[in-house]
Chains A and B, each alone.
Chain A
Amino acid sequence: MTGTAEVATVATVATISPPLWLLAELTYRCPLHCVFCYNPLNYAENRAELTTAQWIDVMQQARQLGAVQLGFSGGEPLLRDDLEELIAEGHRLGFYTNLITSGVGLTEARIARMKTAGLDHIQLSFQDSTKEMNDFLSSTKTFDLKSRVAKLIRQYDYPTVLNVVLHRHNLDHVERIIDMALEMEVDYLELANTQYYGWGLLNRAQLLPTRDQVVRAEAVVNAYRERIGNKVRILFVVPDYFEERPKACMNGWGAVFLGIAADGTALPCHAAKSLPGIDFPNVLQHSVRDIWVDSDAFNRFRGDAWMKEPCKTCPEKTKDFGGCRCQALALTGDAANADPVCSKSPHHGQVQTILLQSEAARSASGQAAGFQPMVFRTDANSLRLGAKDAALEKARFAGPTLS
């Protein structure tokens, strides 16, 4: 290597900040079948999973690079019986370790073992405050089990986040959901309005709430915040289709987030696999450093050189980074366009049309939830949808019309 090239390499490294978040999607296997899951539709076509030793190697490399938050996710990470071993290694390396779980499989024995291993935090998902809706949306009978798990997590004094994904069918239950969080004595409640990727995008017509629902839910949240102070900190993830400015997706592409899919594919965001024409590198072939610093995939939308108008000259580009690349692709057909959630986007009308169509369909069906069947995240549906990939691409632009 010449001296000049070395200097150039050093300069590049200096301008790219280290990843802060390592998200290990240990497996795509999951006992739940949630209709809003962000996992790829065709997840069942690839069941490869990294081994324990391979995950540990990834964790060591990422830590070396500067990552400090380590999330174990999936699928359901508890389906990996080496989870405790991975947590112990993450803890030993100095990561803050997060378990993101449905709670299914979280026995007292495992909760105790994970405490010993050094697990710092558990994020437990519920689909609703009612047994009926929780069990319907996840297509399982898991509400009672989750309630028992929540008590155990509390008993072992883990910092706890209760996560509930919000949409048309439970936004009106926000009051009861907050009460449930207070009863469980969790530290944080994450009310995450559905993001329309993967299965959520497929089921968008059935999940989109009305603007009224969103406004009412936000008012309830604000009233509770006033009343309960810091007893439970409520995070309200805004439903971005109703916004005028896009979210600062992943805090910028290749800026802080490094996701590793079950098979070792490295991703700059959870949904990035939906972007065509990008060859996402795999940790089995490349070092984490090479992936983060040098790979085409992680540099594709890093910084702002890739931007087009209106982002290119927009004073807000350093704040929201042009929004979400996956959403730009899904709604405009070009991942380099401004996220059409932005009112400055020439495609903003597309989002408005989707909302109007959803409201119209809803009133025509007399509030019926089931005017079009929801597609649950199952292996069978995944294989069927993977095979229909071409048709699916079309459906992304027209809205989810697959039967």
Chain B
Amino acid sequence: MTQQAAGGVPHRPKLSRLFKLQWEPAQDSYVLLYPEGMVKLNQSAAEILKRCDGERDSTAIANDLEASFSLTGVQGDVDNFLTVANERGWVG
């Protein structure tokens, strides 16, 4: 059974098979595509989801974001976002 963190978020979140993440020039943003629908993502949401590969845990995702964008203290934001993403079924 998949190990889960608090809030039911999987330990190593992975983008759900129902969703496709891609860059849309016409929207000037990343989007999540699913049956007959689309969600427009802001940049931080997209960068977190890109790293939901089923191998990294939320700490690794946060560390990677901090290193990539010269940021600090993003762990809380990552965890909050993953909770929402999990509720919406974007990650599993």
Contact = CB atoms under 8 A, between A and B. Distances in A.
A123 interface: yes
Interface string B3-27: 0000000000000011010101111
B22 A94 contact: yes
Interface in A119-145: 120-121, 123
Contacts of B84: none
Contacts, number: 46
Interface stretch (B29-37, B50-58, B60-68): B29-37
A351 B14 CA distance: 48
Nearest to B32: A96
Nearest to B86: A230
B69 to A, nearest CB: 26
A348 B26 CA distance: 40
Q: How large is the interface on A (under 10, 10 to 19, 20 to 34, 35 or more residues)?
A: 20 to 34
B89 A123 contact: no
Given A157-B17, A159-B17, A159-B18, A66 B37 contact: no
A188 B20 CA distance: 16
Contacts of A121: 34-36
B35 A161 contact: yes
Contact of B89 (A120, A161, A230): A230
Contacts of A159: 17-18, 34-35
A69 B33 contact: yes
Interface string A81-105: 0000000000000101010000000
A74 to B, nearest CB: 16
A161 B37 CA distance: 12
B38 interface: yes
Which 7 residue pairs are nearest across A and B when measured between Cβ atoms?
A66-B26, A96-B33, A121-B35, A159-B18, A18-B26, A161-B35, A230-B89
Given A69-B38, A96-B20, 11 more contacts: A21-B36, A66-B27, A68-B26, A68-B38, A71-B36, A98-B35, A120-B35, A121-B34, A157-B17, A159-B18, A161-B35
